[in-house]
């Protein structure tokens, strides 16, 4: 498809980048995050379960958050992790139900993933960079306790947030035609 003739939405989808570094030292307003979330939650979700909740780490709390998070890593990684957790201007942690039913888990994780994509597209449109991270600490019981994640919940990921000067270069995607097949019946009716 010629990008010159694509919709505004298609341009935002194709233009969005994961911003991992290079965040400006500008606070991310809680009001902006809530505004984006109130649109992002219109993601499709089975039976309207809305299987998400959010923990916001504002810029003002980030340094203490970075120190607390780094405590959950081996001593030889502490300084590196403090620096790593101080890179974004803020965090949005996505929490979802932790259930044993594989069908419902798939439905809920799909809904959460859709909501996160909505959030990232809306954030990009407003000049707010983000990257969805699923590092091992999302499974650490001590991190879950630190964040107030309940026993019947799990962390779907950390969204690193911040305003930025330079967008990362885009990477080529495999065209859909290369991964597309058409079902053909094996016998006639």
pLDDT tens column, 103-138: 999 999 999 999 999 999 999 999 999 999 999 999
Burial 77-107 (b: 16+ CB within 10 A, else e): eeeebbebbbebbbbbbbbbbbeeeeeebeb
Pairing of strands 53-57, 128-133: unpaired
Judge whether 111 and 49 are in contact, CB under 8 Å: yes
Where along the chain do its domains lie? Answer: 19-166
**pTM summary value:** 0.92
- Helix H segments across the chain? 8-15, 30-40, 62-70, 78-86, 102-125, 141-147
pLDDT of res. 1: 43
Q: What is the mean pLDDT of the chain?
A: 95
pLDDT, residue 3, reads 52
- Give the closest residue to 14 by CA, choosing from 25, 27, 33, 1: 1
Regions of the chain where pLDDT drops below 70: 1-5
Q: Can you tell me the distance from the alpha carbon of 71 to that of 39, in angstroms, rounded to the nearest whole number?
A: 35
Tokens of 152: 């019947």
**From edge to edge, which strands make up the β-sheet containing 53-57?**
53-57, 90-97, 153-163, 128-133
Reported as a single tens digit per residue, the pLDDT across 57-71 is 999 999 999 999 999
Q: Which CATH class is domain 19-166?
A: alpha beta
Contacts of 113 (CB under 8 A, 6+ apart): 156
pLDDT score, position 188: 84
């Amino acid at each position: 498809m010629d990008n010159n003739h694509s919709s505004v939405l298609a341009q935002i989808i194709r233009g969005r980048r994961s911003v991992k570094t290079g965040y400006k030292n500008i606070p991310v307003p809680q009001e902006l995050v809530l505004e984006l979330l109130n649109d992002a939650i219109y993601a499709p979700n089975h039976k309207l379960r809305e299987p998400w909740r959010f923990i916001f780490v504002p810029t003002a709390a980030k340094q203490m958050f970075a120190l607390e998070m780094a405590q959950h890593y081996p001593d030889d990684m502490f300084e590196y992790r403090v620096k790593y957790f101080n890179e974004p201007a803020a965090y949005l942690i996505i929490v979802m139900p932790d259930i044993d039913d594989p069908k419902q888990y798939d439905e809920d994780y799909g809904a959460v993933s859709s909501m996160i994509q909505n959030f990232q597209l809306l954030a990009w449109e407003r000049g707010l960079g983000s990257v969805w991270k699923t590092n091992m600490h999302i499974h650490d019981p001590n991190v879950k306790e630190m964040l107030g994640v309940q026993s019947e919940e799990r962390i779907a990921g950390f969204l690193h947030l911040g305003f930025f000067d330079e967008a990362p270069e885009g990477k080529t995607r495999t065209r859909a035609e290369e991964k597309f097949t058409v079902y053909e019946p094996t016998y006639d009716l």
